[in-house]
Structure 1
Amino acid sequence: MNNTSGLGSLTVIGAGIVGLSAAIQLQRAGFNVTVIDKEGAGAGASKGNAGHFATEHTFPLADSTMLLKLPGMLLDPLGPFRIQPRYFFKALPWFMRFLQNMLPGRRAHNSAAIKALNLGAIDAMRSLTKFCGCEHLLTLNGGLLVFEGTPVAEVEKEFRAYVDAGVEVQLLSGDQVRALEPSLSENITHGFNFTHVGHTEDPYRLCLALQAKFKEIGGQVVTDELLQIKAAKINSTIALEMSSGDSRHTDRLIIASGAWSKPFARQLGYSVPLETERGYHLMMPQKSKLSRTVTSYERKFIITPMAEGTRLAGTVEFGGLKAPPVDARADCLFPHGKALLPELFRDASASDGKRWMGFRPSLPDSLPVLGRSQKQSNVFFSFGHQHLGLTWSAITAELLTQEVTGKQTDIDLSPYRIDRFS
Structure 2
Amino acid sequence: MFDAHRADVAVVGAGIIGVACALQLARQGRQVVLIDQQAPGMGASYGNAGHLATEQVFPIADLSILKRLPAMLLDPMGPLRLDWKYLPSALPWFARLLFNLGPTHYQRTVAGIRALNEDSQAAWQRLLHNIGRPGLLREEGSLLVYERANSRAALETLQRRMQQQNVPLEFWPGDAIRQVAPHLSDRVQGGLFFPGTGHFLDPYQVVCELVDAAKACGVQFLTRQVRNGRVEADGVTLDTDQGAFSARQVLIACGAHSAKLTAALTGKKVPLDTERGYHLMLPHERERLPFAVTSLERKFIMTPMAGGLRLAGTVEFAGLERPANMQRAWQLHRLSQGLFRQDLSAQDATPWMGFRPSLPDSLPIIDRVCEGKVLLAFGHQHLGLTQAAVTAEWVAQLASTDRRGAELPALGPYRLDRF
Class of the TM-score when normalised by the shorter of the 2 chains? over 0.9
Contact 1:62–1:364 (CA<8 Å) still a contact in 2?
Answer: no
Q: How does 1:148-167 map to 2 (within 5 A)?
A: 148-149=147-148, 150-167=150-167
Distance in 2, matches of 1:182 and 1:342, equals 9
Aligned AA for 1:358? G
Q: Does 1:170 align with 2:165?
A: no
Aligned to 1:353: 349
Aligned to 1:41: 40
Q: Does 1:252 align with 2:245?
A: no
Distance in 1, matches of 2:222 and 2:95, equals 38
Q: Does 1:282 align with 2:277?
A: no
- Offset from partner CA, 1:48-67 (integer Å, 9 cap, x none): 00001100011112311332
Contact 2:174–2:190 (CA<8 Å) still a contact in 1?
Answer: yes
Aligned to 1:191: 191
- Offset from partner CA, 1:114-164 (integer Å, 9 cap, x none): 110011100001111111222111110001000111433222211111111
Contact 2:7–2:246 (CA<8 Å) still a contact in 1?
Answer: no
Aligned AA for 1:206? V
Match of 2:373 among 372, 378, 382: 378
Aligned to 2:13: 14
- Cα 1:151–1:355 shift into 2, 3 Å: closer
Aligned to 1:367: 363
Distance in 2, matches of 1:413 and 1:248, equals 30
Q: 1:167: Cα distance to partner?
A: 0.2
Contact 2:51–2:200 (CA<8 Å) still a contact in 1?
Answer: yes
In structure 2, runs of 5+ residues without a counterpart are 1-5
Aligned-pair identity in percent equals 43
Aligned to 1:3: none
Q: 1:183: Cα distance to partner?
A: 1.1
Aligned to 1:4: none
Aligned AA for 2:304? P
Match of 1:416 among 409, 414, 417: 414
Q: Does 1:105 align with 2:101?
A: no
Runs (4+) of structure 1 exceeding 6 A deviation are none
Match of 2:260 among 235, 260, 263: 263
Distance in 1, matches of 2:41 and 2:341, equals 32
Aligned AA for 1:243? D
Distance in 2, matches of 1:322 and 1:342, equals 40
Secondary structure (helix, strand or coil) at the match of 1:239 reads strand
Match of 2:392 among 394, 397, 406: 397
TM-score by length of 1: 0.94
Aligned to 1:318: 317
**Alignment size in residue pairs:** 408
- Offset from partner CA, 1:74-127 (integer Å, 9 cap, x none): 321100011111111111100000101110110001100111001110000111
Q: How does 1:125-144 map to 2 (within 5 A)?
A: 125-144=124-143
Q: 1:323: Cα distance to partner?
A: 1.1
Contact 2:255–2:356 (CA<8 Å) still a contact in 1?
Answer: yes
Distance in 2, matches of 1:152 and 1:44, equals 37
- Offset from partner CA, 1:312-341 (integer Å, 9 cap, x none): 000111111111111111111001223223
Aligned to 2:113: 114
